């Protein structure tokens, strides 16, 4: 059930839709990482949005739930299906792109069943990008994690876990009701690798991920700056949430061994901080 958070008026004097937060399990937010964002996200309530669901045959519940929940908060939502493996891929790509041409924001939703159709996905993204801001949403799906595809998007959200409430959680993230805080580890061999620090069920992770929230670290102090193996030292810091969204931050502690000069993660903690608090 959606609850109204706030209502705005548009520049033209029309009453905008209320920005609604859909209730869902908080645990499902832990698997979303924001890899790229140029300011397209969070979505504005006065925007028209099209969701292009990339699939082979069967329906994808997440995209349908996302479409239904977004329609409660944005001006207009269209749901378009792009089916892979057709006789005329280029013609189908142009047809799909034409259907969403008048929408300023297009969400390209890709699932693992699109594996093997990277060239078609990249071409579709190229056509859409000519006339619309492009948001790409996908699961961790091997060869679709290409730098070429990511470079075509204004914003990129990746999800690593399957959850029945995933579409609702994704909607809240896109509207800015919740800030994504999952992290991916970037390396030369695996550009985007989801790395758990403990067990997979706890949703603890490290690495890179963008956020809607500006966190700052101040008053950092150490009881000692050098230590031998086995010696204990204390680290203290103040973490501040300088934004209007309640969000979680993963505080990570690294040391640099003298013999390698490569930072090594030795401790971490997830802290949830209210807006404008420390």
Tell me how far CA of residue 215 lies from CA of 29, 113, 202, in angstroms: 19, 37, 23
Query: Is pLDDT larger for residue 31 or for residue 100?
Result: 100
Q: Is the pLDDT of residue 143 over 70?
A: no
Q: Can you tell me whether residue 199 is helix, strand or coil?
A: coil
Q: Is the pLDDT of residue 265 over 90?
A: no
Query: Which residues is 133 bridged to in the sheet?
Result: 105
Tell me how far CA of residue 46 lies from CA of 27, 77, 230, in angstroms: 29, 11, 58
- The residue whose two tokens read 């579409």 is 167
What does the alpha-carbon distance between residue 236 and residue 219 come to, in Å, rounded to a whole number?
7
Query: Which residues is 3 bridged to in the sheet?
Result: 21
| Other beta carbons within 10 Å of 270 | 14
Query: Is pLDDT larger for residue 217 or for residue 59?
Result: 217
Output the pTM of the full model: 0.78
Buried residues in 56-67 as b, exposed as e (16+ CB within 10 A): eeeebebbebbb
Distance between start and end Cα atoms, the chain? 31
Instruction: Determine the pLDDT at residue 59.
Output: 58
Per DSSP (E only), the strands in 145-245 are 155-159, 215-222, 235-241
**Secondary structure of 27-53 in HEC code, one letter for each residue:** HHHHHEEEEEECCCCCCCCCCEEEEEE
Range of weakest confidence among 15-19, 69-73, 239-243, 256-260: 15-19
Confidence of residue 195 (pLDDT cuts 50, 70, 90): low
Range of weakest confidence among 3-17, 167-181, 206-220, 239-253: 3-17
pLDDT, tens digit (0-9, with 9 covering 90-100), for 151-181: 899 999 988 776 667 888 899 999 998 888 8
Range of weakest confidence among 5-14, 256-265, 269-278: 5-14
Please compute the mean of the pLDDT values over residues 16-28 and round it to a whole number: 75
Q: What are the start-end ranges of the H helices in the chain?
A: 61-70, 89-99, 118-129, 147-151, 166-175
**Angle at CA 208, nearest 5°, toward 253 and 272?**
60
Q: How many residues does the chain have?
A: 278
Instruction: Determine the pLDDT at residue 225.
Output: 82
Is the link from the previous residue into 42 a cis peptide, with omega within 30 of 0?
A: yes
pLDDT, tens digit (0-9, with 9 covering 90-100), for 222-237: 998 888 888 888 999 9
Residue among 153, 160, 159, 155 at smallest CA distance from 175: 155
Contact criterion met (CB below 8 Å) for 2 and 69:
yes
């Amino acid at each position: 059930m959606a609850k109204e958070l706030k209502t705005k008026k548009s520049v033209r004097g029309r009453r905008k839709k209320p920005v609604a937060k859909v209730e869902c399990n908080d645990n499902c937010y832990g698997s979303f990482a924001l890899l790229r964002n140029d300011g397209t996200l969070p979505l504005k309530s006065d925007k028209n949005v099209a969701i292009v669901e990339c699939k082979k045959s069967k329906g994808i519940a997440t995209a349908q739930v996302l479409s239904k929940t977004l329609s409660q908060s944005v001006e207009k939502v269209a749901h378009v299906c792009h089916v892979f493996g057709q006789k005329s891929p280029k013609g189908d790509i142009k047809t799909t792109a034409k259907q969403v041409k008048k929408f300023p924001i297009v969400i390209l939703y890709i699932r693992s069943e699109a594996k093997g159709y990277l060239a078609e996905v990249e071409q579709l993204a190229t056509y859409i990008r000519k006339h619309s801001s492009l948001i790409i949403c996908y699961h961790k799906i091997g060869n679709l994690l290409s730098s070429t595809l990511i470079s075509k998007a204004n914003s990129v959200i990746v999800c690593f876990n399957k959850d029945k409430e995933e579409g609702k959680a994704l909607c809240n993230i896109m509207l800015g009701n919740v800030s994504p805080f999952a992290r991916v580890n970037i390396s030369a061999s695996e550009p985007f690798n989801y790395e758990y620090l403990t067990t997979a069920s706890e949703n603890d992770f490290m690495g890179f991920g963008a956020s809607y929230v500006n966190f700052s670290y101040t008053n950092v102090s150490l009881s000692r700056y050098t230590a031998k193996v086995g010696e204990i030292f204390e680290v203290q810091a103040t973490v501040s949430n300088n934004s209007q969204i309640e969000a979680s931050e993963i505080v990570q502690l690294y040391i640099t061994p003298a013999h390698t000069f490569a930072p090594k993660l030795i401790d971490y903690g997830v802290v949830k901080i209210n807006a404008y608090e420390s």
